Structure 1
Amino acid sequence: MVHPVITNERDGTRFEQAPGDTLLRAALRAGVGLSYECNSGGCGGCKFELLAGDIETLWPAAPGLGERDRRRGRHLACQCRALGDVTIKAASGPEYVPVRAPRRRRAVLTGSADITHDLREFRFRAEGEADFLPGQFAMLDLPGLASSRAYSLANTSNGDGEWHFQIRRVPNGQGTATLFDHLQPGAEIGLDGPYGVAYLRTDSPRDIVCVAGGSGLAPMISIARGAAEAGMLGARRLHFFYGAREPRDVCGEAMLAGLPGFGERITYCPVVSMPGDGGWTGATGFVHSHLPAALPAPLARYEFYFAGPPPMTQALQEMLMVDHRVPFEQIHFDRFF
């Protein structure tokens, strides 16, 4: 079978697109570092211009493209497939080249457990090693849905083929409705991964700060677990902040408590933005505003990882870079939509 060949005019790279792949997934599978973040049409990090050839768009209304982008003829590599050989102009860089090559596999749901009223952990098992970096995500192909869904991993790489996801139920969300209401243990799905560039940097000498909001808990728990497994917390500390809307949304402490050094090398601080009158005695407000006072050293001395809703990640990034002059190389984040 002859596969379409994609040429990126900007850097001269060429790669083939296998059946079922988008332009972005084909590039990453081939070891080509096209720019991206979410891989699911929300962030716009994989915008490109089509210079020659024909493509099909899987999600024309993807929010990652604004009206100005559409008028200028831009597309999203994560939502487009080539219908033949094409030439594109897309941003790329070595930082996007996958450290672990993503691949497709079949995975079986082995069980699930509630974390909060709307957050649940789903555990899948696939053949072979589950090879990914702490903080990465995978694309799940769920029954009855036309497009893949991106979910972050909560566990760490293992030889047992275990892939664990902590997923928040989205009102009227087709993906989470399938997972929460219809998928039963023993069900088989498609799993493609790993993806993501906000993974744990084990070579950093700095103390670690993890900030999670909503289902951003999963990659931050993965990073905390990965740091502990790598022996990074013997000489370093890990400060974990969780931003919750209501007291009933607070979670994560029990998972961290199982790691060596919890309470000494690992600290946990939940922050609730809408405490109500239910007797919440912890920190209140927006989670990012608590970092300057809660952290013992100037913020520029830390390595930051965060994941959560776009307003949280945007406010946190701006505060770190503008107000505290934290170098961009020390900031690693995912945006969830």
Structure 2
Amino acid sequence: MNPHFEISLAGSESSFACAADDTILRAGLRQGLGLAYECNTGACGSCKFDLLEGEVFDLYPEASGLRAKEREKGKRLACQCVPKADCRIKIRTGDLYRSMVRPARFRARLISYRALTPDMGLFSFKSACPAEFAAGQYAMLTPAAGAMTRAYSMSNTENAEGVWEFIIRAVPGGAVSPLFGGLPEGHEVEIDGPFGVAYFRPQIDRPVVGIAGGSGLAPVLSIMHAAGMDESFTRDLHVFYGGRGPADIPDIPGLLGDAAAKVSCHPAVSMPELAQQQGWQGDVGFVHEFLPEKLKQPLADFEYYMAGPPAMIEAVVRMLVVEHKVAMEQIHFDRFF
């Protein structure tokens, strides 16, 4: 039987049980607590905490989410620490981080694969349990026993059939993504989720803009599916997607299916030489630069959901907030590095 340890929160009466093979962060989220986090992979630093009592094992001591001075002061990352004893910790909390669907660990088998671009594909897995998550969330995937775990966003929407769809890009030199390319149908993976705070908020009465690059298309597709198929949501929907060259642009309307009729798609490529070589007739430049031209209202009138390379996210946020006075509350993204 897997042992459990008690984790208590300083300054609060809250405590929770954490299995010896679970991280402090995920165990707390599973039990309905709002522990601060974003990436779940040790990169963003949102889940840093102080260990006041007890002992933990650090799965990733070199994680970039902590600066050297923070490590010297004993800071740790809840997403990378498993308990070795009962612990008392000090960590930031908030209702924003409380999961609408409590994350769980389960097995799922690969049922199909479809190439979308030369280095990106759509993987569909099926679990015995329903696929419950909010549009825009992600899960942690472990492709095989002993393999590293990575975060990937779902590109579909929740369903009773237990189908989980992920867009995975093969990263040169990556430790995990190349493994997916060799999986045969029927192969089982572990899924742990859902996680993420950049989920679709249909109650907000603003037109929606999704901005993505690379496999960041997945959560944007999920949000557009959810909004496009919701008859009560009548605001405009826009997808801005950027790639280096034409070969990097997938068939976004085809991926949207029935929701495509309600979504305006604005692809762009960033490398003029590739655009010229491959006969690209569309926009050339960084995709966010086309927002003022394509959107006919002030940019502050929209709700934004973004996913993609960190440099893209930083550039988009800077443009929206500094140049167009968009409130940060209208911009949603989970930081990945």
**TM class, shorter-length:** over 0.9
Hey, what's the Cα distance between the residues in 2 that align with 1:18 and 1:252? 43
| Counterpart position of 2:218 | 218
Paired letter, 2:242 = G
SS at match of 1:321: helix
Pairwise CA distance, 1:6: 1.1
* Contact 2:305/2:332 (8 A) holds in 1: yes
Aligned residue in 1 for 2:195: 195
The amino acid across from 1:138 in the alignment is A
Give TM-score scaled by structure 1 length: 0.94
Q: Which runs of 5+ in 2 are unaligned?
A: none
Structure 1: gaps (5+ residues): none
Rate the CA distance shift 1:11–1:252 in 2: closer, same or farther, 3 A. Answer: farther
RMSD: 1.6
Please show how residues 58-73 of structure 1 align to structure 2 within 5 Å. 58-73=59-74
Which residue is 1:75 aligned to? 76
Check whether the contact 2:134–2:199 (CA below 8 A) recurs between aligned residues: yes
Q: 1:261 to 1:141 in 2, by over 3 A?
A: closer
Distance, in Å, in 1 between the alignment partners of 2:70 and 2:231 is 45
Map Cα deviations across residues 207-233 of structure 1 (whole Å, 9 max, x no partner): 000001100011000000011122255
Distance 1:297 1:256 in 2: 27
Report matched runs for 1:313-332 at 5 Å.
313-332=313-332
Give the CA deviation at 1:49.
1.4
Structure 2 Cα separation of the partners of residues 232 and 68 of structure 1 = 50
SS in 2 for 1:222: helix
Q: Indicate the residue corresponding to 1:98 in structure 2.
A: 99
How far did residue 184 of structure 1 move? Answer: 0.9
Corresponding letter in the other structure for 2:226 = G
Q: Describe the shift of the 1:319–1:145 C-alpha distance in structure 2 as closer, same or farther (beyond 3 A).
A: farther
Partner of 1:107: 108
Partners of 1:282 and 1:179 in 2: CA distance: 32
Once the two structures are superposed, what CA deviation does each residue of 1:52-86 show, in whole Å capped at 9, x if it has no partner?
A: 21110001111222223222221111111111111
**Equivalent residue runs for 1:166-177 within 5 Å:** 166-177=167-178
The equivalent residue for 2:137 is 136
Report what 2:265 is aligned to. Answer: 268
Does 2:18 align with 1:42? Answer: no
Query: Equivalences for 1:17-56 in 2 at 5 Å?
Result: 17-56=18-57
> In the superposition, relative to structure 1, how do residues 255 and 43 fare at CA in structure 2: closer, same or farther (>3 Å)?
farther
Please list every run of at least 4 consecutive aligned residues from structure 1 whose deviation after the TM superposition is greater than 4 angstroms.
none
TM-score in terms of structure 2 length: 0.94
2:63 aligned partner, one-letter code: A
3-state SS of 1:115 partner? strand
- Give percent identity, aligned residues only: 46
The answer as to whether partners of 1:308 and 1:335 remain within 8 angstroms in 2 is no
Matched to 2:268, the amino acid is V
How many residues in Structure 1 have an aligned counterpart in Structure 2? 333
Conserved 8 A contact 1:221-1:252? no
Aligned twin of 1:336: 336
**How far is the alpha carbon of 1:313 from its aligned partner?**
0.9
Deviations along 1:305-328, whole A, 9 cap, x unmatched? 000011111111222222222222
Aligned: 1:288 with 2:288: yes
**Which letter does structure 1 place at the counterpart of 2:244?**
R
